[in-house]
Chains A and B, each alone.
Chain A
């Protein structure tokens, strides 16, 4: 199957500090390799500050990588102009309260991507109304302003805006985390149906593993700007190799009787991306860390053709197989 989106060694640095201290470099992404096949959904999970939002901005072309390349449909993302790029990739953001311009009507918001391309007129109006119906927005609301809509309705508007130009790739950055649970499930159902009907390629960024489990075909786990594990959804949820993936999975609290709070064992602080720990960046928080972890950066190991991870001592390793220092 063709890879519609590929990232190779993508790094993104920010200069931080102000005035005389303007010297430090924050490395938000450190050599990310990623590829997504057409029609698949990749779930990107990690805690705040792990670089997942930077990754989304780079994929949208809103920011440029400091080094490495992003290929869309086999061509570098820079080779597309902004209108072509928008035709291929569209975003859905986390907060439907800040992602819609309060001064525009729902109709104008949904139509905006087409107007940028110079389209307009009655056919566009019909298209907007049809699409609004298809994302489950009551028709009379197309003339409303965002402030008159509920959170779920706003997120439907954002989804309609993303879909009107028939993009190939949808980048959903925490699409449901600002919503109430009963509304969240509606948006999840909607996204699932749309991706099936339209054969969309989707990048789903979320800290909520239940959401990722529900939608994603493949999962990539990020920690401090790096992919630490990546594989098919089932492998990650049933046989995660990296201790960090494990911790994230344990942290999910299902609303079921008899659930016990998990023992996390991640006592140390989340490290600063300005000066990350040596060796494996996860070692200060990792219960299984040994001397080697602080010294050597683990390289990418393939569990099988689709599943890889970066860890010296993955979960399924037997004691005698452990690498010696």
Chain B
């Protein structure tokens, strides 16, 4: 990607949160690029730091969190040292955010139309009737039936799917260059999820906005993303195009994730699924080894010698692992571990 096509460029983002007795480091040295018209998915499980990364990029972290980065550019403008006032100008205007739960993200006391007008009038010199007209226009565009009536309604009068459409319309009000969507469909039913994702993708293609999609769901990623950034333990562990990463994951964590999801038609009923043993460790202190080493079936002594650097795997792919980049050392069956159940019942009585 050439530099001028970049909407967002984050370099070496670190977040530290002081807690009694220690300092949490939930985001470490994260670098992400989003191009114009590109969808980049940040994937990982709970506690991997993906949501904090999004909030840090939006400048929305609470004050006690310490954010450091080597560069944060939105469309050439450096935001690393931007004033709070500049941030307020940017948010909702150049960068918009879509949250997981539209019910809590919308203010229950105000009508939909008023909330939309407020955003527009804050960022643009526009009359109220002009703002209403634009809001109406956008509600129609995101596929909300009878948009005139919706403008006069309160958030609780809408269903979850409609509320998320309203959120998307609000994000589009000022024609942003970048939308950050944090788990935009996790609270929705599966059939609604598919509709909302389609809507997001269609709008993004039409307007050439950069979309940073934060999600835990690899299925959503598969349907939406151009590129994938996989995070684990606050670090980016793998970067690549969507098809590359899903078809041939390089980092053991990504591989474990892909192997642990049942797919109707592919995995057989009751077939033992792969899984990643252990739990996500607390993110404290400096790294002295690979962050995934305790859960990794490929781990060797070399993995504990120090923090692992990002390796270039060719074709624009990166991975934070010392295994060969060509994927030759892989064994998909390594994830089909003997379940704790059968392993332990062999030693104990064996019956319930």
CB atoms of A and B under 8 A apart anywhere in the complex? yes
Q: Which residues of A contact B (CB under 8 A)?
A: 47-48, 130-131, 133-136, 150, 152, 163, 166, 180-186, 188-190, 192-194, 196-198, 207-211, 213-216, 233, 237, 247-264, 266-267, 269-270
Whether, in the assembled complex, B342 has its beta carbon less than 8 Å from a beta carbon of chain A, the answer is yes
- What string of 1s and 0s marks CB contacts (under 8 Å) between B235-278 and chain A? 00000001110110000000011101111111101111111100
Contacts of B194 in A (CB 8 A): 250-251, 253, 261-262, 264
Whether, in the assembled complex, B40 has its beta carbon less than 8 Å from a beta carbon of chain A, the answer is no
Contacts of B140 in A (CB 8 A): none
Summarize A's interface: helix, strand, loop or mixed. helix
- How many residues of chain B are within 8 Å of chain A by beta carbon? 61
Least CB distance from B220 to A in Å reads 6
Cα(A58)–Cα(B192), bound, Å? 28
A185 and B261: CB pair below 8 A? yes
Closest 9 CB pairs of A and B: A136-B340, A253-B219, A255-B218, A185-B260, A185-B273, A182-B276, A257-B243, A180-B45, A257-B247
Least CB distance from A123 to B in Å reads 13
Q: List 8 A-B contacts (CB under 8 A).
A: A185-B262, A188-B262, A188-B273, A211-B262, A213-B269, A255-B246, A267-B143, A269-B162
Known: A181-B257, A253-B217. A269 touches B159 (CB 8 A): yes
Question: Nearest residue in B to A48 (C-beta to C-beta)?
Answer: B189
Per a CB cutoff under 8 Å, which of B159, B243, B270, B341 touches A134?
B341
Given contacts A133-B345, A136-B340, 12 further A-B contacts (CB under 8 A): A130-B348, A131-B352, A152-B279, A180-B216, A183-B275, A194-B341, A214-B271, A251-B190, A253-B220, A257-B243, A257-B247, A264-B191
Known: A47-B189, A256-B263. A215 touches B220 (CB 8 A): no
Least CB distance from B121 to A in Å reads 30
Pick from A131, A192, A247 the residue with the most CB of B within 10 Å: A192
Q: Considering the complex, which residues of chain B in the window 277-332 have a beta carbon less than 8 Å from any beta carbon of chain A?
A: 279
Whether, in the assembled complex, B6 has its beta carbon less than 8 Å from a beta carbon of chain A, the answer is no
Contacts of B145 in A (CB 8 A): 267, 269
B275 and A182: CB pair below 8 A? yes
A192 and B270: CB pair below 8 A? yes
A257 and B246: CB pair below 8 A? yes
B224 and A261: CB pair below 8 A? yes
Contacts of A47 in B (CB 8 A): 189-192
Cα(A93)–Cα(B86), bound, Å? 47
A261 and B201: CB pair below 8 A? yes
Least CB distance from B198 to A in Å reads 5
Pick from B191, B257, B258, B271 the residue with the most CB of A within 10 Å: B191
Pick from A253, A258, A269 the residue with the most CB of B within 10 Å: A253
Whether, in the assembled complex, B65 has its beta carbon less than 8 Å from a beta carbon of chain A, the answer is no
Cα(A215)–Cα(B269), bound, Å? 6
Whether, in the assembled complex, B193 has its beta carbon less than 8 Å from a beta carbon of chain A, the answer is yes
Cα(A261)–Cα(B213), bound, Å? 15
Cα(A272)–Cα(B95), bound, Å? 36
Cα(A163)–Cα(B262), bound, Å? 25
Least CB distance from B242 to A in Å reads 7
Per a CB cutoff under 8 Å, which of B267, B339, B341 touches A214?
B267
Contacts of A190 in B (CB 8 A): 339-341
Cα(A297)–Cα(B351), bound, Å? 49
Whether, in the assembled complex, B349 has its beta carbon less than 8 Å from a beta carbon of chain A, the answer is yes
Question: Nearest residue in A to B345 (C-beta to C-beta)?
Answer: A134
Cα(A215)–Cα(B271), bound, Å? 9
A254 and B266: CB pair below 8 A? yes
Cα(A194)–Cα(B193), bound, Å? 32
Contacts of A213 in B (CB 8 A): 262, 264, 269
